[in-house]
Amino acid sequence: MSDLHAWQRLYLGATSSPLQPLHHPLLRRHGIRLSIKRDDLLHPRLSGNKWRKLKYVLRQALTERATGLLSFGGAWSNHLHALAAAGRELGLPTVGIVRGEPASAANPTLSDAAAWGMALRFVSRQDYRRRQDPDWLATLAADYPGHYLIPEGGSTGLALPGVAELWRELPAADELILPVASGGTLAGLIEARPAGTRLTGYAVLKGAGWLAETIGDLCPAALADAGWRLRLEHHGGGYAKCPAEDRRRILELATALAVPLEPVYSGKAMLGLFRDIEAGCYPSGSSLIFLHTGGLQGARGGL
C-alpha cells in the first residue's frame, strides 16, 4: 500500500546535491566565478528538477488517497521517467500519455518507465495537443478512476514550493542560471528568490515569448519582480534540436568543465551562458551558479 512513509523515505532521506566550482579560460578572461549545482546527482532515478517539482505534487496525491498518477510527455520525457520511478517508490500505479508512436516504447526512457510499471498510452499529435482540454481530461479521468492528473512537465502551482527549497542549499551568489522549458522550475525559484541573487533562464524552446506570462500565472509575484530574465535566442532551432556545431561545442564544454551535459537542457543552457559571457552580458567580478537540472537519462542515445 502506498503511504506517506514511502514519500518521506523518498524525500526526507535525501541529502542535497553537491556544488562544484568550474574552471575555464573564458571564465578567467572575463572575471567570472562560476559554480554548478549538480541536481543531476540528487537521486539515481528521479534526477534534477523533476525530483524537486514532484515533491509536493506527490504528497498531495497521497493525501487525497489517489489510486494512481497520470501525466503527459514526449517519448524522451524526463518527467514521465521520473514519475514512473516515483510511482514505484510510492507503490502507486502510473499512467503515461505519450505523444508519439508505440514503436518509441523501445527507447531507454520509456523502457525504464514501463519496467517500473508505468502503463503507456500512445496518442497522436492532434490528441496530445488537447492535453489541457477539460473534455479530454474528463475522458481520461473516467478511463483511470481515482488517478491524480499532473500536467505535462509537472508544472502546477504545487511544483513551486519543492523547487523553492533549492535556495536553502545555495550560498550567496549574484546570479543563478538555468535551462527553462515550461517555466515551472524558474517560477518556483522566483517565488523564493533572495534579494541579492538574480535569475536568468535560458529557454530551450523556440519562440518562447509566451513564457513570461506562463511564469506570471504560476507565480504572480514574478510580474512585479525585476530580478529575473529570460534569454530566448539560444534555443538552437527548437526543442530537442541541436545543430551539429552546437553539439560539438557542448561536448567540448562538457570535457573542459568535467561535467556531463546533454544537448536538450543543460548543454543548451551552458552553451548559451558561455556565448553570453563571451558577448560581455555578465559583468566582470560576477559570481554565478549554474543549476544542472538533470535529464542525463534522455541522452543515453548519445550526445
Ligand X SMILES: *Cc1c(COP(=O)(O)O)cnc(C)c1O
* Site residues, ligand X (CB under 6 A): 48-50, 78-79, 153, 155, 179-186, 265, 293-295
Q: How far is the CB of 298 from ligand X (least distance, A)?
A: 7
Single-letter amino acid, residue 150? I
Q: How far is the CB of 213 from ligand X (least distance, A)?
A: 14
Question: Given phi > 0 = left and psi -120 to 50 = alpha, else beta, which region is 153?
Answer: left
Q: How far is the CB of 141 from ligand X (least distance, A)?
A: 23
Please name the residues in contact with 247: beta carbons below 8 A apart, sequence gap of 6 or more: 263, 303
Q: How far is the CB of 276 from ligand X (least distance, A)?
A: 18
For residues 93 and 113, give the distance between their C-alpha atoms in angstroms, rounded to a whole number.
11
Q: How far is the CB of 207 from ligand X (least distance, A)?
A: 15
Nearer to ligand X, 71 or 78 (CB): 78
Ranges assigned E (strand) in the chain: 19-22, 33-38, 68-73, 94-99, 118-123, 147-149, 175-180, 198-203, 228-231, 287-292
- CA-atom Rg of the chain in angstroms: 19
Backbone phi, psi, residue 287, to 5°: -110, 120
Nearer to ligand X, 162 or 179 (CB): 179
Nearer to ligand X, 2 or 272 (CB): 272
Nearer to ligand X, 68 or 263 (CB): 263
Q: How far is the CB of 177 from ligand X (least distance, A)?
A: 12
Nearer to ligand X, 34 or 46 (CB): 46
Residue nearest to ligand X (CB): 295
62, containing H or E segment: helix 49-63
Helices (H) and strands (E) in the chain, counts: 12, 10
Nearer to ligand X, 87 or 179 (CB): 179
Nearer to ligand X, 2 or 228 (CB): 228
Q: How far is the CB of 79 from ligand X (least distance, A)?
A: 6
Q: How far is the CB of 282 from ligand X (least distance, A)?
A: 21
The set of cell numbers assigned to 254 is: 562538457
Which contacts qualify for 6-12: CB closer than 8 Å, 24 or more apart?
6/89, 6/90, 6/91, 7/58, 7/59, 7/62, 7/90, 9/89, 10/43, 10/46, 10/58, 10/86, 10/89, 10/90, 11/55
For residues 293 and 50, give the distance between their C-alpha atoms in angstroms, rounded to a whole number.
8
- Contact yes or no for 278/24 (Cβ under 8 A): no
Single-letter amino acid, residue 281? C
Nearer to ligand X, 87 or 298 (CB): 298
